[in-house]
Amino acid sequence: MFANENSIHSLRQLFVEFKKYLELQKQYTRLEITEKLTVLLSMLILVLLVIMLAMVALFYFSFTLAFIIAPWVGSFGASFAIIGCLNIAFIALLIFFRQKWIINPMVNFIAGIFLSQNK
């Protein structure tokens, strides 16, 4: 079947080209994974920073609101208790709607990063 020298040379060249192709595909996959992990980690850092700043802001706004409503309820203790109850209610809402507000957007974001077709 492969009687002449030209056929054997063509098969060797095909094998060499296939090896080069596999190496390039491996490098491309590494590059693509690196790009997607970079986007994912940068978004994670951004979200963590926003959450930390939001917690600080919530802390100060809670104190401000407690001092504003203190004259209406009669004491600082009662106003801080009301603010604490409001914070617990917000936490309960967050737990109740965690699938809709946290999990689904996170899954959509990660799936969009890793399952997107190249542009």
Q: Which domain holds residue 26?
A: 5-115
Averaged pLDDT, 5-22: 87
What pLDDT score does 119 carry? 56
What's the whole-model pTM score?
A: 0.70
Amino acid at 3: A
Number of domains in the chain: 1
> What is the Rg, in whole angstroms, of the alpha carbon atoms belonging to the chain?
30
Q: Whole-angstrom Cα distance, residue 109 to residue 32? A: 16
Structure tokens at 68: 């504003």
Condensed to tens digits (0 to 9), the pLDDT of residues 37-70 reads 999 999 999 999 999 999 999 999 999 999 999 9
Q: Which of 42, 39, 81, 43 is nearest to 62 (CA)?
A: 81
